[in-house]
Amino acid sequence: MNFAPLPSVEAAEVPADGLVLDVREADEWAAGHVEGALHVPMSDFVARFGQVTEALADGRRAFVMCRVGGRSAQVTQYLVQQGLDAVNVDGGMLAWEGAGRPMVTESGVPAHVL
């Protein structure tokens, strides 16, 4: 069976107004995340798939992210198979942080990647 290469982008290439879909777990999200990102943990993904399709309803592209790119690659592949526009963010939140992209927390403590 032949699979198309997974669409991916570097963290530095994600547009400031891009829809970031963060599939990390709650503790990872709480430590630091992209402001305005949609948080749907991979463990809840199937149950919350409607939320994701709603966010992408206007043809928006999802920039899927986890810590390093493994979980997000699986979710990206699933979204693409469903006919949605999704790309994996290479290197995940570690690459995002390494590229100096902004991160936030709800608690106000300095954001970091867990």
Spell out the residues 6+ positions from residue 108 whose beta carbon is closer than 8 angstroms to its own. none
Count Cα neighbours of 61 within 13 Å in the Cβ-side half-sphere: 13
Asked about 77 being catalytic, the answer comes back as: no
**Per DSSP, what are the bridge partners of residue 90?**
10
Of 66, 73, 79, 89, catalytic: 66
- Residue positions annotated with a catalytic role: 66
